[in-house]
Amino acid sequence: MSLTLRTISREQHLAYIQSLPAASHMQVPAWADVKAEWRSESLGWFDASGEMVGAGLVLYRQVPKVKLYLAYLPEGPVINWHSPNLEDWLQPMLKHLKQQGAFTVKMGPPVIIRRWDAQAIKAGIQNPDVKRLRDVEATHIEPRAFEVADKLRRMGWQQGEDGGAGFADVQPRYVFQVPLADRSLEEVHKGFNQLWRRNIKKAEKAGVEVVQGGYEDLAEWQRLYEITAVRDQFRPRPLGYFQRMWTALNSEDPNRMRLYFARHDGVNLSAATMLVVGGHVWYSYGASDNIGREVRPSNAMQWRMLQDAYALGASVYDLRGISDSLDENDHLFGLIQFKVGTGGQAAEYLGEWDFPLNKLLHKAFDMYMARR
C-alpha cells in the first residue's frame, strides 16, 4: 500500500474527523488552540488515488535554548492501527517530523487492549490478594492490540512509563466507559449499582436540578473547581484555560464542549465539562463543593449528562481516567469506586509510545523531565 503524508489545512483535517464515527477530542484541529503554548500542525495520509485515509494533530514543544522539538500526537494519530503494514503509516510520519526539527516523537495509539466489566472489578476489590486492575482477569481481550504493540517495538518505538496511575501530563492509560450502543436508557439505568440508583432518586426527591451553563458561567465553574483542587490536593488549571477551551472548541463545532451544574435551592453544588466528538462523549473535568453532598448532586449530574449523551446518539459515555489501583487505602481508589457504580467497564489503552529520533537528546530530555 503506497501512502503519502503531507501537511493539510485545518478545514481538511476537520472534514476528515467529521467523516468518522468518532475520534479523540485531542485530535480535532481546535485542540491546537487549547494548547496555545505548543506549535501545531495537521497531517494527512493519502492513498494512491489521492483520497485522505488518516489524519493527525501534532503539537510541538520547543526545548529550552535550542531549535529542537518534542513532537506529540495526543491520543493519535487517527489512522488504521490494524493495518498489516503499520510501518507504511508511521515511517513517513517520522521522516516528516524529523524534517520539522523533532528530536523525539510521542504518540498515544487510540487502541484498547483489555476491558473489565463492573462485576469483575467488584470481585477484584473484594479479593484481598488483588491490588491492581491488571491482576484481575479481563472480561474481554483484543488480540489485535498485542500485534500493534509488537509491531511498534520491532520498529523501534519504546513504551512510555506512566507508572500505572495514568495521570500527570501523559494521557490516562486506564479509563472508565459506559457503553450506550444497542442499549436502551432503561438498561443503562438498570446497570447502575443500588447505591447509584438510590442516590439519583435521593437527588430527585431533594429537588436537585441539573442545568447547562455557558461561557459566562465559567467563573462559577472555576470557584467549584478550585474548592475541589484544595480538597483533592491537585494543582488547578487557571480560568483562562477553560475560557480558551470553550472558545476554541465551540467555534469549531457549537456542540463540542458543554458545561453542567447541579444545584439545590439555587446554590451550585457540583459542575462538570463534557466534550463531544461524533459518537464519543467524555466527562472531562468535574468539580464539587464541600457542602450539600447529602443531596447527591454529582450522581444527578452524571445521570443527566449520560441521558444527554444518549440523546446525541453517542455510542460511548467516557468517564476518562482511573488509577489501576484497587487498594482501598489508595487516595485514587474513591474515583474508581464512584465510576464502577455506573455499571460500565474499565478499558486499558496501549499507552503512550516514544520514538527517539536523536537518542542522545532523547535521553537528556528524559533526565531533565524526571528532575522536574
Q: Model confidence over 110-125: pLDDT tens digits?
A: 999 999 999 999 999 9
Q: What is the 3-state secondary structure (H, E, C) of the chain?
A: CCCEEEECCHHHHHHHHHCCCCCCHHHCCCHHHHCCCCEEEEEEEECCCCCEEEEEEEEEEECCCCCCEEEEECCCCECCCCCCCHHHHHHHHHHHHHHCCEEEEEECCCCEEEEEEHHHHHHHHHCCCCCEHHHCCCCEECHHHHHHHHHHHHHCCEECCCCCCCCCCCCCCEEEEEECCCCCHHHHHHHCCHHHHHHHHHHHHHCCEEEEECHHHHHHHHHHHHHHHHHHCCCCCCHHHHHHHHHHHHHHCCCCEEEEEEEECCEEEEEEEEEEECCEEEEEEEEECCCCHHHCHHHHHHHHHHHHHHHCCCCEEEEEECCCECCCCCCCHHHHHHHHCCCCEEEEECCCEEEECCHHHHHHHHHHHHHC
Cα separation of 343 and 189, whole Å? 9
CATH assignment of 112-349, given 3.10.129.10, 1.10.1740.10, 3.40.630.30, 3.40.50.720? 3.40.630.30
Q: Are 26 and 60 in contact (CB under 8 A)?
A: no
Q: Which of 237-246, 272-281, 310-319, 351-360 has the lowest mean pLDDT?
A: 351-360
Is the pLDDT score of 231 beyond 50? Answer: yes
Summarised one tens digit per residue, pLDDT across range 256-298 is 999 999 999 999 999 999 999 999 999 999 999 999 999 999 9
Provide the pLDDT for residue 319. 97
pLDDT of residue 239: 98
State the fold for domain 4-108+352-370.
Aminopeptidase (3.40.630)
Using one digit for the tens of pLDDT, what is the confidence trace for 44-101?
A: 999 999 999 999 999 999 988 888 999 999 999 999 999 999 999 999 999 999 999 9
Residues of the chain with CATH 3.40.630.30: 4-108+352-370, 112-349
Q: How confident is the model at residue 163 (pLDDT cuts 50, 70, 90)?
A: very low
What pLDDT shows up at residue 372? 62
The per-residue pLDDT for 167 is 34
Tell me, what's the pLDDT at 162? 54
Q: Give the mean pLDDT of the chain.
A: 94
* Mean local confidence (pLDDT), 121-132: 95
